[in-house]
Structure 1
Amino acid sequence: METPPQKLPKTFAVKSFGCQMNVYDGERMAELMTGEGLTPADAADADLVVLNTCHIREKATEKVFSDIGRMRKDRAGRGAAAPMIAVAGCVAQAEGEEIVRRAKVDVVVGPQAYHNLPKLVAQAAAGAAPVDTDMPVQSKFGALPARRKVGPTAFLTVQEGCDKFCTYCVVPYTRGAEVSRPFAAIVDEAKALVDAGAREITLLGQNVNAWRDGDERGLHDLIRALDKIPGLARIRYTTSHPNDMAQGLIDAHRDVESLMPFLHLPVQAGNDRILKAMNRSHTRDSYLRLLDRIRAARPDIALSGDFIVGFPGETDAEFADTLSLVDAVGYAQAFSFKYSPRPGTPAADMTGHVPAQVMDERLQRLQAALNRDQHAFNQASVGRSCDVLIERRGKLPGQMLGKSPWLQSVHLTGDHAIGDLVPVTLTHAGPNSLSAEPALSFAA
């Protein structure tokens, strides 16, 4: 599709939706465009707007078209020029040329090809409407610029794609097969992030604990190597699959001080028949036994999970098994969703889809239980001494906000700088955050 030539953009904005990996990809696209001489701007005024999309939930595609229409209408209402629009991410991968046809956007680029964004923008300015949804064998990461400046916390993608083919999930189709980045490249980028200001790095992957360096090294070996980087105080990782939770990684939680006592380990459901229908490779019992091993290695670990309610065919009794699993685990945090059929996935063609009102009621009950346990975990933390990594200023005078080792939001007052690791005592717990007072010293 050809459009009239237009000026190369001078300003840009990247709007990322969805998971942490999309946040990481959005940051890298911003660095690419900055390297081309473009200046960051607000999305309402930028010459180029990149919509970095997520395709996990139902109607994600329609939301993209709605966002594009609203953006253009707002610009027209202000008498402003229409922006060049690039659709990136998983919706771009899934829809491809259809986005150009329906929304007449300027660029479509998938998550494995966004390193080509500057070239695609130049082609769009010349009158083309390029679509790049290739999944090349050669990694995109080698084409990305060096990290120059980051905040005290930073994301670092180490693994992409998924080979698990859960029946509800589009990730294998939009992100491709599991691929691990090379060990040396990850260590180099981690060092660059620390040099650029990071004190905490979160390792990212669709199945991050499936990261491998050939047959020799797993994620635990990578974590032990990163632990040796001077200035890197904290390491986290997400998202994990129970099937890839190797003993070496469990041992790392026991041995590596910089590896934070927090683990996001999605279970999705508490009933074995539903787990099998989802093509999850664990059972309720194997998941609980795995958690026992993890807690034996790191007794203070905070657990997080993902849940889907209303999977096709789920009965009231099977949903009750999910509630009882929540009661058994006591999650510090969790994410829960109504089942959302994704075109092209096996579950979308299953019979027995649960009525919307039933899913709504189940989700409310599940979230009430999860919120109860999160508040209980926070309340049990009162009196603990720990370090808080200051991430930003709060709304009140002198207030600073940061994270505990257990990924709890903590606010405190005092003369602290962003990036400081402040010894505190946790003094008050709310449902979603805690208050703390600085401490001169503490015993871990």
Structure 2
Amino acid sequence: MKSKKAAFITLGCKVNTAETEGMKKLFRDAGYEIVPESEFADVYIVNTCTVTNMGDRKSRHMLRRASKLNPDGVIAAVGCFAQVSPDEAAKIEGVNLVVGNNMKHNIVELVEKVKENGPQKYVNERKELSDFEELPIETYDDHTRAFIKIQDGCDQFCSYCIIPYARGPVRSRGIPEIIKEAEALIQRGFKEIVLTGIHLSSYGVKEGTGLGELIRELHKVDGLERIRLGSLEPMFLSQDFVNGMETLPKLCPHFHISLQSGCGATLKRMNRKYTPEDYRNIVKRLREKVPDVTVTTDIMVGFPGETEEEFRESYEFCKEIGFLWIHVFKYSPRKGTPAARYPSQIDATVKEHRSKIMIELAEEMKRNVLASFIGREMPVLIEQPAGENSDDMEGHTPNYLPVVVRTERENAGEIINVRLDSVEGLSLRGIAL
């Protein structure tokens, strides 16, 4: 009997990555063979993104591409684009299944319904997205660190962001379920897990727990060597949490703390809930208490109304902080958000210019941070070859310094000690000890 085949295309964030792995497990358990997205399959699952208009465009493009690979197959639009624009998704040629968020756990049964009854659409309203959707994961394809989704939803309503509508209200996963998944992943050989969520800082708030309690419980998992946190809101990093980090040796001293702008007036228009001064104090607190800590962030340029003075203020603030890395992105109006209707939209050429300037700063700061660790010996999680025919491997230290080192490919997934010798481009060159 010919085996059924399913292919997956994942767009967007690390939460989507985790959810795709959960859906793959469901299909494997149902007897499907998982094949690469470029191959013929009976079912194509496109886990979509809607965070920007570009995310929408990519989602539509990937759905059309899947349809061309098998015009008679089941083509499923799943996730955030499907949740926010279900009718638009359903109209794309070849798409015969639309599944919003919180319905992915039923994906195999929904695919079978399409086979029996034709096109289907399953999308809940935001208020109905109230329960955490369990999609357990046992392994990750092509990864040396494992992502565990612990939280979903967002109640912040930043003026530029559609995600509260796509993902629904804040909800959290139970600690026992997270521990069970972590133990299964460690059994598969993973040394590092990354805790991820849509608004990670909200973990456990409604349930009366919190990230600190979860991290303490994860420390008890034998074989787990590193716990890394996904993107955090600045105000999460309280004095109590930072003070408690010395009792959490498995927690990586790297924090991605979302900034968006270093200008107070811009932050106010964005409806962000902190000031540059708040952010400055949080980073100071971390650097005083946590050895070797590094901070990365996101910066948006060209937000509506951002004057040259406001951009300069943001630039100088970033320079003062001294980030390991800045993910720089140009503001693009997202239909359905307040910021898309703001006056004083910034010209594309201005946004491009500001982006270039901020990226140059990001690269300069990264080289400076990397140089400050030359001569140190640090553990590095070996992840992947540095190039197709390279004898070098790439990996990261606990504080997320990228390292290139000559070592065996069989060491992928292992943690080895490395002496950091020099800066090459935007990485450190190390020698395996």
The TM-score, its normalising length taken from structure 1, stands at 0.90
Q: Which residue of 1 aligns with 2:37?
A: 43
Instruction: Check 1:111–1:408 CA distance in 2 against 1; reply closer, same or farther (3 A cut).
Output: farther
Q: Which residue of 2 aligns with 1:176?
A: 168
- 2:214 pairs with 1:219: no
Equivalent-residue separation in structure 1 for 2:41 and 2:421 (angstroms): 44
Equivalent-residue separation in structure 2 for 1:279 and 1:192 (angstroms): 40
User: Deviation at 1:391?
Assistant: 2.1
Q: Which residue of 1 aligns with 2:396?
A: 403
User: Deviation at 1:351?
Assistant: 0.8
Among 49, 58, 66, the alignment partner of 1:63 is 58
Identity over the aligned pairs, expressed in percent? 31
Q: Deviations over 1:96-130 (max 9, x none)?
A: 12211243402111232111110110011113211
Among 193, 197, 201, the alignment partner of 2:193 is 201
Instruction: Check 1:60–1:216 CA distance in 2 against 1; reply closer, same or farther (3 A cut).
Output: closer
Asked whether the 8 Å contact 2:132–2:172 carries over to 1, the reply is no
Among 80, 89, 92, the alignment partner of 1:99 is 89
Among 217, 223, 231, the alignment partner of 1:231 is 223
- 2:20 pairs with 1:26: yes
Q: Which residue of 1 aligns with 2:365?
A: 373
Equivalent-residue separation in structure 2 for 1:414 and 1:120 (angstroms): 46
Q: Deviations over 1:191-248 (max 9, x none)?
A: 2221222110000012212212656432112112111211000000111111222333
User: Deviation at 1:68?
Assistant: 3.0
User: Deviation at 1:411?
Assistant: 2.3
Equivalent-residue separation in structure 1 for 2:329 and 2:175 (angstroms): 34
Equivalent-residue separation in structure 2 for 1:184 and 1:213 (angstroms): 17
Equivalent-residue separation in structure 2 for 1:268 and 1:102 (angstroms): 34
Among 132, 148, 154, the alignment partner of 1:156 is 148
Q: Which residue of 2 aligns with 1:442?
A: none
**Counterpart secondary structure, 2:95:** coil
Superposition pairs of residues 182-331 of structure 1, within 5 angstroms: 182-212=174-204, 216-331=208-323
Asked whether the 8 Å contact 1:224–1:252 carries over to 2, the reply is no
Instruction: Check 1:121–1:232 CA distance in 2 against 1; reply closer, same or farther (3 A cut).
Output: same
Equivalent-residue separation in structure 2 for 1:172 and 1:318 (angstroms): 27
Among 54, 62, 66, the alignment partner of 2:49 is 54
- 2:418 pairs with 1:427: no
Q: Structure 1 counterpart of 2:233, which letter?
A: H
Equivalent-residue separation in structure 2 for 1:111 and 1:422 (angstroms): 39
**Counterpart secondary structure, 1:217:** coil
User: Deviation at 1:157?
Assistant: 0.8
Equivalent-residue separation in structure 1 for 2:30 and 2:129 (angstroms): 23
Equivalent-residue separation in structure 2 for 1:215 and 1:179 (angstroms): 9
Asked whether the 8 Å contact 1:379–1:430 carries over to 2, the reply is no
User: Deviation at 1:393?
Assistant: 3.8
Instruction: Check 1:414–1:274 CA distance in 2 against 1; reply closer, same or farther (3 A cut).
Output: closer
Equivalent-residue separation in structure 2 for 1:375 and 1:403 (angstroms): 15
Q: Which residue of 2 aligns with 1:5?
A: none
User: Deviation at 1:304?
Assistant: 0.4
> Superposition RMSD on alpha carbons, in Å?
2.0
Equivalent-residue separation in structure 2 for 1:391 and 1:154 (angstroms): 12
**Counterpart secondary structure, 2:194:** strand
The more displaced of 282-291 and 101-110 is 101-110
Among 408, 411, 420, the alignment partner of 1:417 is 411
How many positions carry a matched residue from both structures? 425
**Counterpart secondary structure, 2:346:** coil
Asked whether the 8 Å contact 1:220–1:248 carries over to 2, the reply is no
Instruction: Check 1:391–1:63 CA distance in 2 against 1; reply closer, same or farther (3 A cut).
Output: closer
The more displaced of 290-299 and 129-138 is 129-138
User: Deviation at 1:154?
Assistant: 0.2
User: Deviation at 1:186?
Assistant: 1.4
The more displaced of 241-250 and 290-299 is 241-250
Equivalent-residue separation in structure 2 for 1:55 and 1:432 (angstroms): 30
Among 427, 430, 433, the alignment partner of 1:436 is 430
Instruction: Check 1:289–1:428 CA distance in 2 against 1; reply closer, same or farther (3 A cut).
Output: same
User: Deviation at 1:162?
Assistant: 0.9
Unaligned runs of 5+ in 2: none
Equivalent-residue separation in structure 1 for 2:136 and 2:209 (angstroms): 27
Among 335, 338, 342, the alignment partner of 1:343 is 335
Instruction: Check 1:139–1:286 CA distance in 2 against 1; reply closer, same or farther (3 A cut).
Output: closer
- 2:138 pairs with 1:147: yes
Equivalent-residue separation in structure 2 for 1:136 and 1:123 (angstroms): 22
The TM-score, its normalising length taken from structure 2, stands at 0.93
**Counterpart secondary structure, 1:248:** helix
**Counterpart secondary structure, 1:103:** coil
Among 99, 108, 112, the alignment partner of 1:118 is 108
Q: Structure 2 counterpart of 1:404, which letter?
A: T
Equivalent-residue separation in structure 2 for 1:145 and 1:188 (angstroms): 9
